Amino acid sequence: MRILKTIFLVIMAILVFVLSLAFITHNQTPISINLLWAQLPELAVSSWLIIFFVIGGLFGLGVSSLMLLKEKQARLRVEKRLRTTSKLITGHSV
């Protein structure tokens, strides 16, 4: 079963690589992006799409990491309250 998983992952990686190459070669029209406050240099459409995709992915990772930290802090607060309440009810620690 493990070898089938490895073969599947290799095939998927090759497929993604080939499709990426096809995407890059078919989207070579140079464009420049105007962000209202800045004019970005001319790059191929595929380059801009890949750049913005990576930036969006990194932004998503950052936001989700902050949310996980917030949830962990909330969980630790609840666990501390539970220990304190348990001590009060039973008279000794858990």
Q: What is the pLDDT along the chain (94 residues), one digit of tens a residue?
A: 899 999 999 999 999 999 989 988 888 899 998 988 889 899 999 999 999 999 999 999 999 999 999 999 999 999 999 999 988 888 765 5
Q: 3-state class of 7 per DSSP?
A: helix
* CB 54 within 8 Å of CB 40: no
Closest CA to 49 of 29, 65, 67: 29
- Whether this model's pTM surpasses 0.75: no
Indicate the domain borders of the chain: 2-90
**In sequence order, what are the beta bridge partners of 60?**
none
Query: Can you give the three-state secondary structure of 21-74, one letter per residue?
Result: HHHHHHCCCEECCECCCCECCCEEHHHHHHHHHHHHHHHHHHHHHHHHHHHHHH
